[in-house]
Amino acid sequence: MADWHTTVTPPALARLLTTARLPEPPTARRPAYRTLAGQIRLLVTEGRLPVGARLPAERELATALELSRTTVATAYETLRGDGYLRSRRGAGSWTALPEGAPPPGDALHPVPPDEQGRTLDLGVAALPAPQPWVGAAAARAVEQLPYYAAGHGHYPTGVPVLREAVARRYTERGLPTTPDQILITTGAMGALHLVQRVLVGRGDRVAVEAPSYAHTLQALRLSGARLVPVPYAHHPTARWDQDEWQRVLRGAAPRLAYLIPDFHNPTGALIGEDQRRELLAAARAAGSIVLVDETTAELGWGVPETAPLPRPMAALDRAAQVVTVGSAGKLFWGGLRIGWVRAAPALVRRLAGERVYSDVGTPVLDQLITAELLGEPLAAVRAHQLDKLRATAHAFAATLPEHMPGWTFPMPTGGLALWVSTDGLSGAALARTGERDGVRIASGNRFGSDGAFEHHIRIPLTVPAATVPAAVERLAAVAARTATGGRLDTPDEAQPLAV
Amino acid sequence: MADWHTTVTPPALARLLTTARLPEPPTARRPAYRTLAGQIRLLVTEGRLPVGARLPAERELATALELSRTTVATAYETLRGDGYLRSRRGAGSWTALPEGAPPPGDALHPVPPDEQGRTLDLGVAALPAPQPWVGAAAARAVEQLPYYAAGHGHYPTGVPVLREAVARRYTERGLPTTPDQILITTGAMGALHLVQRVLVGRGDRVAVEAPSYAHTLQALRLSGARLVPVPYAHHPTARWDQDEWQRVLRGAAPRLAYLIPDFHNPTGALIGEDQRRELLAAARAAGSIVLVDETTAELGWGVPETAPLPRPMAALDRAAQVVTVGSAGKLFWGGLRIGWVRAAPALVRRLAGERVYSDVGTPVLDQLITAELLGEPLAAVRAHQLDKLRATAHAFAATLPEHMPGWTFPMPTGGLALWVSTDGLSGAALARTGERDGVRIASGNRFGSDGAFEHHIRIPLTVPAATVPAAVERLAAVAARTATGGRLDTPDEAQPLAV
């Protein structure tokens, strides 16, 4: 097979292994090779070490980690046996996934069932498509297809009816917007990928909230950006730590600040207008672009109908420094893959010019469906989705403290998840144990920029409320196994290297 | 506005300006500043200089080009006046597009009409959606939607029914394929972007046919790859120049060779099996990945039904070195944005792991529509599309020599275009003149890796046959204006720098 591997240097791998902050040392001693193999496997399955990455030669890694060469060689042999490493004489060794394994770091694939055939996916924070609205909108979109079918179907900036519908919705939310400020993308991730590709260079600093959305953090890492985490101030309610933001913006002058001010993922925090204004002023002084992720902005399920929401960041922007990303994936359906960028028309044109070389445009039919849904059905669909999220949030709030008295979480007023502190239990270890018990769990360290938040998990509000009691019981069982006997029948991947 | 510009160094801009091989010197002398401004504008509108690129300071560029600083300053002033450059004191100057201008290099946007309101788009090689098949398939896909709507709709590798349908079609074409070798992408460009992102690093060499598909060349350029062009041998019929390929593969050991062996874009050439085998052997010896673009592979409109086609490159691949990209965009419809990668299952998993951070997945509904079309309707749809392409090819062959006796082209047996030699007339100048006459023309140099093929244009076979005589008449009018008086009322952007 031809050679297509990127290379991980010994210091880089050593850094990954040490900064990953894997769980606390166990009491029993286990062979160092099993610990090393388990940690590398964890880095691969969590997507923090890409599949196909060439690992250092055994001798080099042994030197970097101050381990014996035999330990490294045996760890590599173990990984090969489990399908997580491939080697070829003269060509080195590179990370892999066993046949049939899902892509790494995904939370996007079916959970392997437990012995009783049960599965519970707490990895994905996404709702099913609200029916009958999506089906009806799809049928109406198909009726419009003949008009579009007469052309070549390429719309780098988006189909006009959807650009207009998105602009109208911003205007309704208090942010006057024209269609030429909107670029339709293939999902919000498509928008983030494009903005990052155009605006962020390798080695550029990007300031991020800590915690923040796991997939964006990983996308930024893969692009070579240097993440500068700015922790949340959690008391009395979650808010930005303005002193820390001031310090980072002034000191690091990041190219870009990535923010989720509206029902933040994973915490659900909603940032007030005063904080928004202060941060914009600081970013302006630093010359930083402010990238606002509004994927969850329409999901205020705990906000009274009559209470005014803080205005969108872009509505407070006096320096054309805000670029906003939005999505139909959470309010409507992820299977539509419709997202967008709201920016100055000149930047929209520039992004469109670039995306011609990535996906050319977003499929027409899904744009027509989304335009339909943003019209007359919007109020009913939104009420339906918010009812579901609210019911699930209340069900977790009623059930979780009973089964897991030490676990705590701030109760948000919107968004897709609860950010749960696990009373010192490792989220990564919970995830590993869960994977064998048919329960997928999103470990907290995936939402940190350098393996922080080890003792957190994110619980999605997108499971049906009626299933919450059973879900909490299974989660409690996983927690019990993790805390005590869970390690007995699993390898030692959840243990730290002694480096 | 925050700062988000990439920088073009003076030598890089000088190289672009000199290697662009813009048209022959005119007889009349024009001010050097107008020539410089016109050339920079052309680089921007053709997408060869990205919008938002920071240009060198006047003094630096003057030194690099051996021009006076006044000449450069006046050229910049002209570009600013026309909307192609923006400047801010202390921040420099960066390329731009005038308000309302389409994104650069696109051939994807409506052509501005001429004074009589007529337009003719010879830029895009894409057919409308074949009806009633696409509409019917869309209706059937909507019926299947409820099943998928119950889930979150994320399919990083693709919806199973489409992976199976694409694998089945490969098997029918003589290349046994299993669904786990297929990754569904957002269009063939999505596939190329992903493969390039994972397999090609900045500065890596990529060998390409010369000419080759314009958008892939530009995508590779933007990714920082170094293109190594390998010219076609054009006599007696277009084929690969095997000696030259051997030399390049041996000498440059490129990371990847990008090939379109089946009804090549833009020439329509079909490469025989012997040449395919030889090239694969040479690539294997060089350790190069062979990226085969089969976007046009199903479009053999001039091949007798009974004649066997050369087998797909991957069917001749003994070293797992071939990665194939395919598309539903040309046979069915570009508005579906469905493409795919065929590769070893391990690479498919790796690509899926990466695409989670670009577009997550491709919309579900369009995948269902494509799976439908690859089933029972396929034979009828394909016959319909090939009939249209064949009729248009014959209409051009009958009409073009009459109006443009000096223009020549090889008559292909498939594909989407004619590759026309314009008898010494500049394709870029034809494109500029055409843009003012309501006729969009794809100039040859967009299909070369460094501004080669200036005296070629690509004529798409996707205009209706009945409109070909009128199209040729308008093309002839543009050519006449370009050759003689066309320059009188246009600026001098089509003239070379005296460097």
pLDDT above 70 (res B26) = no
The model's confidence at residue B293, banded by pLDDT at 50, 70 and 90, is: very high
Closest Cβ–Cβ partner in A101, A149, A359 for B129: A149
User: Do B346 and B207 touch, CB atoms closer than 8 A?
Assistant: no
Place of tokens 């048209």: B23
Give the Å distances, CA to CA, from A85 to A51, A64, A76.
9, 19, 7
Give the span between the Cα atoms of A205 and A210, in whole angstroms: 15
Q: Please, what is the end-to-end C-alpha distance for chain A in angstroms?
A: 35
Per-residue pLDDT tens over the stretch A18-39: 654 444 333 446 788 888 888 8
Chain A nearest C-alpha distance from B423 (Å): 30
Q: Could B334 and A105 be called an inter-chain contact, meaning their C-beta atoms sit closer than 8 Å?
A: no
Please tell me which residue of chain A has the smallest CA distance to B151. A128
Q: Could A2 and B363 be called an inter-chain contact, meaning their C-beta atoms sit closer than 8 Å?
A: no
Residue A331: name the closest of A369, A392, A374 by CA. Answer: A374
User: Do A198 and A351 touch, CB atoms closer than 8 A?
Assistant: yes
Sequence ranges of the domains in chain B:
4-95, 113-126+380-483, 133-375
Per-residue pLDDT tens over the stretch A281-295: 999 999 999 999 999
Residue A261: name the closest of A253, A250, A245, A272 by CA. Answer: A272
Strand partners, B404: none
DSSP A289: E
pLDDT for the residue numbered B327 = 97
Question: A44-58, B16-30, B51-65, B232-246 — which is least confidently predicted?
Answer: B16-30
Give the span between the Cα atoms of B430 and B480, in whole angstroms: 9
Q: Which residues of A touch B193 (CB under 8 A)?
A: 357-359
- Could you tell me which residue, B145 or B5, shows the higher pLDDT? B145
Q: Could B335 and A152 be called an inter-chain contact, meaning their C-beta atoms sit closer than 8 Å?
A: yes
pLDDT for the residue numbered A82 = 83
pLDDT for the residue numbered A31 = 82
Torsion over CA: A141, A145, A146, A150 (sign): positive
H/E segment holding residue B148:
helix B133-149
pLDDT above 90 (res A361) = yes
Structure tokens at B33: 């500043």
pLDDT above 60 (res A13) = yes
Chain A nearest C-alpha distance from B447 (Å): 15
pLDDT above 60 (res B229) = yes
pLDDT above 50 (res B106) = no
pLDDT above 80 (res A47) = no
Strands A322-327 and A289-293: parallel
- Could you tell me which residue, B362 or B308, shows the higher pLDDT? B362
Per-residue pLDDT tens over the stretch A124-182: 899 999 999 999 999 999 999 999 998 889 999 999 999 999 999 999 999 999 999 99
B435 in helix, strand or coil?
Answer: helix
The answer to whether the predicted template modeling score (pTM) of the entire model surpasses 0.90 is no
Per-residue pLDDT tens over the stretch A49-103: 766 778 888 998 898 888 899 999 999 999 998 888 888 887 788 887 776 554 4
Architecture of domain B4-95: Orthogonal Bundle (1.10)
- Residue pairs spanning A and B at CB distance below 8 A: 289
Give the Å distances, CA to CA, from A310 to A170, A262, A297, B300.
13, 9, 10, 59
Give the span between the Cα atoms of A459 and A416, in whole angstroms: 9
| pLDDT (average), residues B61-82 | 90
Question: A38-42, A327-331, B388-392, B399-403 — which is least confidently predicted?
Answer: A38-42
Burial track B204-235 (b if 16+ CB lie within 10 A, e otherwise): bbbbbbbbbbbbbbbbbbbbebbbbbbebbee
Q: Could A366 and B366 be called an inter-chain contact, meaning their C-beta atoms sit closer than 8 Å?
A: yes
| pLDDT (average), residues B374-382 | 97
The backbone torsions φ and ψ at residue A37, rounded to the nearest 5 degrees and listed phi first, read -60, -45
- Mean pLDDT (chain B) is 87
CA B200 to chain centre: 19
Q: Could B193 and A359 be called an inter-chain contact, meaning their C-beta atoms sit closer than 8 Å?
A: yes
| pLDDT (average), residues B22-41 | 67
User: Do B296 and B263 touch, CB atoms closer than 8 A?
Assistant: yes
Give the span between the Cα atoms of A475 and A404, in whole angstroms: 9
- For residue B6, give the amino acid letter: T
- Mean pLDDT (chain A) is 87
Please tell me which residue of chain B has the smallest CA distance to A153. B335
The model's confidence at residue A468, banded by pLDDT at 50, 70 and 90, is: very high
pLDDT for the residue numbered A209 = 95
The backbone torsions φ and ψ at residue B303, rounded to the nearest 5 degrees and listed phi first, read -95, 125
Give the span between the Cα atoms of A411 and A400, in whole angstroms: 12
pLDDT for the residue numbered B420 = 96
User: Do A210 and A233 touch, CB atoms closer than 8 A?
Assistant: no
The backbone torsions φ and ψ at residue B127, rounded to the nearest 5 degrees and listed phi first, read -90, 155
Per-residue pLDDT tens over the stretch A227-273: 999 988 876 677 899 999 999 999 999 999 999 999 999 999 999 99
Architecture of domain A113-126+380-483: Alpha-Beta Complex (3.90)
Return the residue in A43, A88, A186 with the most chain B beta carbons within 10 A, the one to mutate for interface testing. A186
| pLDDT (average), residues B108-127 | 81
Give the Å distances, CA to CA, from B489 to B82, B101, B176, B432, B485.
16, 20, 59, 12, 8
pLDDT for the residue numbered A30 = 72
pLDDT for the residue numbered A32 = 85
Q: Could A152 and B334 be called an inter-chain contact, meaning their C-beta atoms sit closer than 8 Å?
A: yes
H/E segment holding residue A138:
helix A133-149
Q: Which residues of B touch A335 (CB under 8 A)?
A: 148-149, 151-155, 363-365
Report the share of chain B in percent with pLDDT over 90.
66
pLDDT above 80 (res B145) = yes
pLDDT above 80 (res B297) = yes
Q: Which residues of B touch A344 (CB under 8 A)?
A: 1
Question: A159-163, B32-36, B234-238, B269-273 — which is least confidently predicted?
Answer: B234-238
ipTM above 0.85, yes or no: no
The model's confidence at residue B96, banded by pLDDT at 50, 70 and 90, is: confident
pLDDT above 70 (res B70) = yes
pLDDT above 90 (res B263) = yes
Q: Could B129 and A218 be called an inter-chain contact, meaning their C-beta atoms sit closer than 8 Å?
A: no
Give the span between the Cα atoms of A183 and B429, in whole angstroms: 31
Burial of B110 (0-12, 13-18, 19+ CB in 10 A): exposed
User: Do A129 and B149 touch, CB atoms closer than 8 A?
Assistant: yes
- Could you tell me which residue, B186 or B95, shows the higher pLDDT? B186
Per-residue pLDDT tens over the stretch B322-362: 999 999 999 999 999 999 999 999 999 999 999 999 999 99
pLDDT for the residue numbered A301 = 97
CB atoms within 10 A of CB B317: 20
Chain B nearest C-alpha distance from A25 (Å): 31
Please tell me which residue of chain A has the smallest CA distance to B215. A357
pLDDT above 90 (res A362) = yes
Closest Cβ–Cβ partner in A139, A357, A363 for B363: A363
Chain A nearest C-alpha distance from B358 (Å): 5
pLDDT above 70 (res B481) = yes
Return the residue in B144, B145, B324, B338 with the most chain A beta carbons within 10 A, the one to mutate for interface testing. B145
pLDDT above 90 (res B110) = no
CATH tag for A133-375 (out of 3.30.360.10, 3.10.28.10, 1.10.645.10, 3.40.640.10): 3.40.640.10
pLDDT above 90 (res B1) = no
pLDDT for the residue numbered A5 = 47
Please tell me which residue of chain A has the smallest CA distance to B51. A350
Return the residue in B86, B186, B221 with the most chain A beta carbons within 10 A, the one to mutate for interface testing. B186
Q: What is the DSSP string of B319-336?
A: SS-EEEEEESTTTT-GGG
Chain A nearest C-alpha distance from B21 (Å): 23
Q: Which residues of A touch B134 (CB under 8 A)?
A: 145, 149
